[in-house]
């Protein structure tokens, strides 16, 4: 056994030397004992954003966490090499975060998918949970837990993202105000650190690693397994959409729901309706006819450029017989009765709603296009100013395709020990604003795409400037310079750096985030 490990080490050193030579791409699979590195593929160089394409030197498709541990131990022991490693979940990043130029990409979907569900029985101490491997998609976890009537509590809008990928960021959606982000709903993690150590961690065991990894942008370790909190799954969902022409009324009602009616509603989101086209495209998954709403918002007789706001909320039914009285909620809200629609849908269909849009966009060849997305957290006190900044900026765009999400979450549902970054202001109500633009190649040239990216940078610059009164922070942050990262982390920067030095001392992990440079 020792001899085999010695041979693996020697062969691996030869491989690392080869990587340092000008001809660095491996031509065929290479075996290092239990480690088998594969030739780089197109998919290992790409992500959903289609803005960056960094080709790795090799790909690892691990069959076990031990293979990941061996790879990182070997790299940590070879002090002359500058090879980096990126875990890749579903590759749904926008800015190359799961890429590793000339490094090694670990495709996490190859880990044997394992979902073990523990249902808490009456009288037992502790909640129900699922142990699930890091490369598993949330939709796979949902399908398994629903078989036994359980479900995770906190979601993202889109379910075809990996467990490890969203836990490295936050994982937010319309349930976040109630249960916190996905990173607030994890009980335990198995992690391979940058030095190759396999560690089980939780809030009470190796807690610094646990909190570092949650929202840690892949910097401290690779999540090979996560224990996700579960609860009883609802039967059905009442899904409501109400339209507003006044921004203040819209956000007041959103805040009413997430603060005062927190116990009555289960999901709150909202979006801006820029024009009739965006009303129709945002309604693909919502199975109600727009025939009574569309003419009220966009009458044929006028060519007004007015925009609207759509508040979306949902209430879960926990039994077949349950009756939901919407009046109890809506009588305190400010929307006009003629501008509200509600439908009842199956719980799975509700959570999987973005897939309807995906199918539609794929059919029109508009899914695999560039996505100059921008997501910002904005405190309540800065949201009106941010809205003005955003609408003024995009009014100069040649086109706008894609939704603009805008909804509140509550800061006290986030654990400040995690690595995730929220605005530092005192407000407990924080808005997430997602400008989810697509660059349709037939209407948006390379120059147009560059213009959209420029607009995003300008919005970030203004919204994060200390004197502009917005105090925003990027969600799924993208920066390229150390001083930008330092400003992004603010008071959390020293802790973030200390954790990096401790858990990934050679800066091997997640080079695509462009926070730290690989050390020798």
By CB under 6 A, what part of segment 248-287 binds ligand FAD?
none
Q: Give 97: exposed, middle or buried? Use CB within 10 Å, 0-12, 13-18, 19+.
A: buried
User: Least distance (Å) from ligand FAD to the CB of residue 520?
Assistant: 22
Q: Which of 140, 190, 269, 504 is catalytic?
A: 269
How far apart CA 451 and CA 143 sit, in angstroms, is 41
Q: Does 408 sit near ligand FAD (CB under 6 A)?
A: no
Per CB under 6 A, which of residues 466..505 are in contact with ligand FAD?
Answer: 476
Q: What's the min distance (Å) between Cβ of 446 and ligand FAD? A: 21
Residue 219 has which token pair? 């910097």
Q: Strands, E, within 203-253: which ranges?
A: 221-232, 236-244
Sheet holding 404-410, edge to edge: 340-346, 236-244, 308-317, 267-273, 404-410, 429-435, 374-379, 473-475
CA distance 234 to 318: 5
How far is the C-alpha of 164 from the C-alpha of 380, rounded, in Å?
30
Q: Which is nearer to ligand FAD, 316 or 377 (CB)?
A: 377
Contact predicate 505/73, CB 8 Å: no
With CB under 6 A as the contact rule, the residue among 90, 104, 212, 333 that binds ligand FAD is 90
Smallest separation (angstroms) from ligand FAD to the CB of 42: 15
Q: Which one of 115-123, 142-150, 216-224, 321-329 is the stretch in contact with ligand FAD (CB under 6 A)?
A: 216-224
87 binds ligand FAD (CB under 6 A): yes
Q: Is 312 in the site for ligand FAD (CB under 6 A)?
A: no
Rounded Cα distance, 227 and 129, in Å: 6
Our answer to whether residue 92 is catalytic in this structure is: yes
Q: Exposure of 86 by Cβ count < 10 A (0-12 exposed, 13-18 middle, 19+ buried)?
A: buried
Interface characters, 119-158, with ligand FAD (x: CB under 6 A): ---------------x---------------------xxx
8 Å CB contact between 124 and 144: no
The CA-CA-CA angle for residues 431, 437, 443, to 5°, reads 160
Q: How far is the CB of 212 from ligand FAD (least distance, A)?
A: 11
CA dihedral in degrees (134, 139, 140, 146; nearest 10)? Answer: 120
Q: How many residues in the shown chain lie near ligand FAD by CB under 6 A?
A: 36
CB of 98 to ligand FAD, least distance (A): 4
The residue among 98 and 508 lying less far from ligand FAD, judged by its C-beta, is 98
* Pattern 157-196, ligand FAD, x by CB under 6 A: xx--xx-xxx-xxxxxx-----------------------
Catalytic pick among 157, 190, 255, 427 = 157
H/E segment holding residue 278:
helix 276-281
User: Is 86 one of the binding residues for ligand FAD (CB under 6 A)?
Assistant: yes
Of residues 28 through 57, those in contact with ligand FAD by CB under 6 A are 47-48
Applying CB under 6 A, does 218 fall inside the site for ligand FAD? Answer: yes
Task: State the DSSP code for 370.
Answer: B
Among 76, 97, 145, 352, binds ligand FAD (CB under 6 A): 97
Who contacts 107 (Cβ-Cβ below 8 Å, separation ≥6)?
A: 44, 59, 60, 61, 88, 135
For residue 46, the tally of other CB atoms under 10 A from its CB is: 18
Nearer to ligand FAD, 95 or 455 (CB): 95
The number of beta carbons lying within 10 Å of the beta carbon of residue 63 is: 12
Q: Tell the smallest beta-carbon distance from residue 374 to ligand FAD (Å).
A: 12
By CB under 6 A, name the one of 60, 217, 430, 506 that touches ligand FAD. Answer: 217
Q: In the annotation, is 465 catalytic?
A: no
3-class state of residue 132 by DSSP: strand
Interface residues with ligand FAD (CB under 6 A) are 47-48, 86-93, 97-98, 108, 134, 156-158, 161-162, 164-166, 168-173, 217-218, 222-223, 476, 510, 512-513
Q: Where in the sequence numbering do the catalytic residues fall? A: 92, 157, 269
């Amino acid at each position: 056994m020792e001899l085999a490990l010695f041979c693996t080490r020697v062969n691996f050193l030869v491989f690392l030397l080869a990587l340092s030579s000008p001809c660095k791409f491996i031509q065929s699979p290479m075996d290092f004992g239990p480690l088998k590195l594969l030739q780089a593929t197109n998919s290992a160089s790409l992500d959903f954003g289609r803005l960056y394409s960094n080709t790795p030197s090799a790909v690892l498709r691990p069959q076990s966490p031990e293979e990941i541990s061996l790879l990182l131990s070997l790299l940590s022991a070879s002090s002359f090499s500058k090879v980096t490693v990126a875990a890749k979940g579903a590759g749904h990043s926008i800015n190359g975060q799961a890429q590793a130029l000339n490094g090694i990409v670990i495709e996490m979907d190859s880990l044997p998918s394992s979902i073990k569900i523990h249902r808490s029985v009456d009288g037992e101490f502790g909640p129900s949970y699922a142990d699930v491997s890091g490369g598993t998609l949330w939709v796979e976890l949902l399908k398994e837990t629903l078989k036994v009537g359980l479900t995770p509590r906190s979601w993202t809008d889109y379910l075809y993202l990996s467990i490890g990928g969203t836990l490295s960021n936050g994982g937010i959606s319309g349930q976040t105000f109630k249960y916190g982000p996905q990173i607030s709903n994890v009980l335990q993690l198995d992690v391979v650190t940058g030095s190759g150590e396999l560690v089980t961690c939780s809030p009470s065991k190796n807690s610094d690693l646990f909190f570092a990894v949650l929202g840690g942008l892949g910097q401290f370790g690779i999540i090979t397994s996560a224990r996700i909190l579960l609860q009883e799954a609802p039967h059905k969902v009442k899904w409501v959409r109400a339209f507003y022409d006044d921004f203040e009324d819209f956000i007041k009602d959103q805040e009413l729901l997430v603060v005062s009616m927190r116990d009555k509603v289960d999901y709150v989101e909202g979006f801006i309706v820029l024009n009739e086209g965006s009303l129709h495209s945002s309604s693909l998954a919502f199975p109600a006819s727009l025939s009574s709403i569309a003419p009220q918002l966009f009458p044929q007789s006028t060519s007004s450029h007015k925009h609207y706001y759509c508040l979306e909320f949902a209430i879960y039914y926990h039994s077949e017989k349950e009756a939901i009285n919407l009046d109890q909620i809506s009588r305190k809200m400010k929307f006009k009765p003629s501008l509200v629609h509600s439908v009842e849908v199956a719980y799975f269909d509700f959570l999987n709603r973005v897939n309807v849009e995906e199918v539609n966009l794929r059919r029109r060849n508009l899914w695999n296009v560039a996505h100059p997305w921008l997501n910002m957290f904005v405190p309540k006190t800065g949201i009106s100013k941010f809205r003005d900044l955003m609408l003024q900026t995009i009014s100069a765009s040649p086109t706008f395709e894609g939704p603009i999400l805008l909804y509140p979450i509550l800061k006290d549902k986030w654990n400040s020990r995690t690595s995730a970054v929220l605005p530092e202001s005192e407000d407990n109500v924080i808005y997430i604003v997602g400008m989810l633009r697509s660059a349709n190649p037939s209407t948006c040239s390379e120059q147009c795409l560059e213009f959209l990216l420029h607009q995003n940078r300008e919005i970030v610059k203004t919204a994060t400037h200390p004197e502009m009164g917005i105090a925003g922070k990027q969600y799924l942050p993208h920066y390229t310079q150390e001083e930008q990262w330092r400003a992004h982390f603010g008071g959390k920067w020293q802790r973030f750096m200390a954790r990096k030095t401790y858990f990934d001392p050679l800066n091997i992990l997640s080079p695509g985030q462009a926070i730290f440079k690989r050390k020798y």
